Amino acid sequence: MTETHPEADVTALNVAPSLDQAVIELSPSIYRVALSILRDPALAEDAVQETLIRVWTNLERFRGDAPFRVWVLRIAHNVSVSMGRKRRDQAVDPHDLSEVKASGAGAERTAEGRAMVGELWEALDQLDPLSRAIVVLREVELFAYEDIASALDIPLATVKTRLFRARRSLATKLETWR
């Protein structure tokens, strides 16, 4: 039996009213997945653009055996991981990104919001990229476990174990914001 997220709107995962519209409406989700992996707003934007291009140019390969959203975010994940590898090969010091993290939507936040975001970023930094992607797909994008396993091409038990560990780790930080 498929385990859906309690808040997931199943119809939204499967129905694309118009394909180009659907892809564009997924842009914020693509951005969140990319940012969670890359931790750099500028690179995340590049990843969204690259994902949209790949989605469009590979559209004939979409067989419909997974929801369209899962297929798109699988591409977004692969693009982001690939970009992350390239960046690592270019030997960018990850600590140089600490200030970049505060950019993106940062300027639109209140001081308290920025502080909370900073704390959560610190907690996210303690997780590996795969765990960050898993927690975002589950907690923000409301994916079913099976869809996460499909999108990331990993076993179901791995999805669950990584998610539960990530929650434990992040919840410790969140305690200070209650």
Partner 1 sequence: MSRRVPSDRQLLAWLDRNPSRLERHLEMYPDDAARVEVLTEAPSLGAQLRETLRPPSDLLDRLTMGARSDESRRDATELIVELFGTAWRTAAVLFTDEET
Does 156 participate in binding partner 1 (rule CB under 8 A)?
Answer: yes
Q: Exactly one of 41, 69, 72, 97 binds partner 1 (CB under 8 A); which one?
A: 41
Stretch of residues binding partner 1 (CB under 8 A), selected from 36-44, 66-74, 75-83, 87-95: 36-44
* Binding of partner 1 by 139 (CB under 8 A): yes
Binding residue for partner 1, selected from 49, 78, 100, 129, defined by CB under 8 A = 49
Q: Is 45 in the site for partner 1 (CB under 8 A)?
A: yes
Work out whether 126 is an interface residue with partner 1 (CB under 8 A). Answer: no
114-146 b/e with 16+ CB inside 10 Å = b? eebbeeeeebbeebebbbbbbbbbbeebbbbbb
Helices (H), the chain: 10-14, 19-25, 27-38, 41-57, 68-89, 111-125, 129-139, 145-152, 156-174
User: CB-based burial of residue 104 (10 Å sphere; 0-12 exposed, 13-18 middle, 19+ buried)?
Assistant: middle
Closest Cα to residue 73, out of 134, 126, 120? 134
- Of 8-16, 65-73, 74-82, 105-113, the window that binds partner 1 (rule: CB under 8 A) is 105-113
In degrees and rounded to multiples of 5, residue 11 shows phi and psi of: -65, -35
Q: Is 140 near partner 1 (CB under 8 A)?
A: yes
**Applying CB under 8 A, does 171 fall inside the site for partner 1?**
yes
Rg of the Cα atoms in the chain:
16
Nearer to partner 1, 57 or 90 (CB): 57
Which positions touch partner 1 (CB under 8 A)? Answer: 18, 20-21, 23-25, 27-28, 31-32, 35-36, 41, 44-46, 48-49, 52-53, 56-57, 104-105, 108-109, 113, 116-117, 120-121, 124, 135-136, 139-140, 142, 155-158, 160-162, 164-165, 167-168, 170-171, 174, 177-178
